[in-house]
């Protein structure tokens, strides 16, 4: 039993510590995580720095409106596996069971996909390296093509143990690891969790992953519940992820252009 006075002092010390920590680590002032009701143009921009900080906007890259539940439904994203193969940890994302087949709640999936796309666009904006991973033979060409189209990387084959954790020995050189791993399929061909997920978590690399009803979503930073087998669904994911990455890169180019123009004006 802690004495009430003592407890009070511990509490206050804790709060000051957290406050200190917050101040020390804070590089992002005034993030509004919800879309502001007022128009962004009406904001007072006189105090803003020259370049807008994307982290201060709910949807800086305009990627959240890419996701529509109707499109997901048409791409058959809502279809899960049979109830017998259900992973208990996927229960909150399920809408119901139709004739023994699991149907995902697309409202939840769409919201999670929007968050994931926003994160992906931010990483692309910050010059991060994105790696597409997915082990399904029928979709691997599509995934590789997507990565090629947005000038990123893909690995759709067998995952050799230690590609992240022991990369310098494996590749015989200092290796730059990716800043984000996008998994279009979190299981291997023998329905084991892809070792890339654990390795990315070990190396502190965030993951965005499509999790079907027989997958474990716990280690994935931004899980998106949905069908991970059907080519039409994979096509849909690839298309939205590609658009998000390209939008992030475009925003970066625009910002650089703006900066160079401003410098020129100052120079003159």
Binding residues for other proteins restricted to 143-202, rule: CB under 8 A: 165, 179-180, 198, 201-202
- Of the CA atoms within 13 Å of residue 171, those in its CB half-sphere come to 12
User: Using CB under 8 A as the criterion, what x/- string covers residues 57-86 for binding other proteins?
Assistant: -----------------x--------x---
CA-based nearest residue to 245, from 141, 154, 177:
154
What is the Cα–Cα distance from 134 to 83, expressed in whole angstroms? Answer: 23
Q: Residue from 206, 214, 237, 243 that binds other proteins (CB under 8 A)?
A: 206
Residue of the chain from 1, 2, 6, 27 that contacts other proteins (CB under 8 A): 27
- Examine residue 29 and tell whether it contacts other proteins (CB under 8 A): no
Work out whether strand 101-104 and strand 153-155 pair parallel, antiparallel, or are unpaired: unpaired
Cβ contacts of 81 within 8 Å, gap of 6 or more: 101, 102, 212, 213, 214
Question: At its nearest, how many Å lie between other proteins and the CB of residue 255?
Answer: 15
Least distance from other proteins to the Cβ atom of residue 264, Å: 28
**Between 116 and 150, whose beta carbon lies closer to other proteins?**
116
Region 90-129 residues binding other proteins, contact defined as CB under 8 A: 91-92, 94-98, 103, 111-112, 115, 118-119, 122-123, 126-128
Residue found under tokens 């994931």: 116
Among the candidate windows 145-153, 167-175, 216-224, 258-266, which touches other proteins by CB under 8 A? 216-224
Residue 126 Cβ, how far from other proteins at the closest point, in Å?
Answer: 5
77, 110, 143, 220: residue in contact with other proteins (rule CB under 8 A): 220
Instruction: At 233, give phi and psi (nearest 5°).
Output: -70, -45
Cα dihedral 85/87/91/93 (nearest 10): -90
Residue with tokens 């994203």: 77
DSSP state string for 235-263? HHHHHHHHHHHHHHHHHHHHHHHHHHHHH
Contact pattern from residue 5 through residue 24 relative to other proteins, giving x for each residue in contact according to CB under 8 A and a dash for the rest: ----------------x--x
Rg (CA), the chain: 22
Q: Are 229 and 186 in contact (CB under 8 A)?
A: no
Least distance to other proteins from the beta carbon of 254, Å? 18
The nearest distance, CB 159 to other proteins, in angstroms, is: 15
Phi/psi of residue 175, each to 5°? -120, 130
Q: Name which of 188 and 216 has its Cβ closer to other proteins.
A: 216
CA–centroid distance for 195 within its chain: 18
Identify whether the C-beta of residue 210 lies closer than 8 Å to the C-beta of residue 185.
yes
- Distance between terminal CA atoms of the chain? 71
Q: Which is nearer to other proteins, 52 or 128 (CB)?
A: 128
Contact set with other proteins (CB under 8 A): 21, 24-25, 27-28, 31, 33, 55, 74, 83, 88-89, 91-92, 94-98, 103, 111-112, 115, 118-119, 122-123, 126-128, 165, 179-180, 198, 201-206, 218-223
């Amino acid at each position: 039993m802690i004495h009430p006075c003592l407890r009070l002092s511990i509490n206050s010390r804790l709060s000051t510590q957290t406050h200190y920590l917050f101040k020390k680590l804070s590089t992002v002032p005034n993030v509004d995580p919800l879309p502001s009701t007022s128009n962004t143009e009406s904001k007072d921009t006189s105090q803003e720095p020259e370049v807008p900080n994307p982290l201060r906007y709910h949807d800086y890259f305009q990627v959240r409106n890419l996701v529509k539940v109707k499109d997901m439904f048409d791409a058959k994203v809502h279809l899960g596996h049979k109830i017998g193969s259900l992973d208990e940890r996927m229960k909150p994302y399920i809408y119901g069971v139709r004739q023994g087949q699991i149907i995902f709640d697309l409202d939840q999936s769409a919201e999670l996909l929007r968050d994931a796309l926003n994160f992906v666009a931010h990483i692309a904006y910050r010059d991060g390296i994105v790696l597409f991973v997915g082990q399904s033979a029928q979709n691997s060409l599509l995934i590789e093509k997507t990565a090629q189209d947005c000038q990123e990387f893909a690995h759709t084959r067998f995952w050799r143990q230690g590609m992240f954790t022991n990369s310098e020995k494996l590749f015989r050189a200092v290796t730059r690891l990716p800043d984000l791993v996008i998994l279009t399929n979190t299981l291997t061909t023998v329905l084991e969790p892809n070792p890339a997920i654990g390795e990315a978590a070990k190396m502190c690399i965030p993951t965005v992953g499509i999790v079907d009803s027989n997958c474990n979503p716990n280690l994935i930073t931004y899980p998106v519940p949905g069908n991970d087998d059907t080519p039409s669904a994979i096509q849909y994911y690839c298309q939205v992820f590609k658009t998000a990455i390209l939008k992030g890169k475009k925003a970066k180019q625009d910002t650089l252009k703006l900066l160079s123009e401003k410098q020129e004006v100052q120079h003159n």
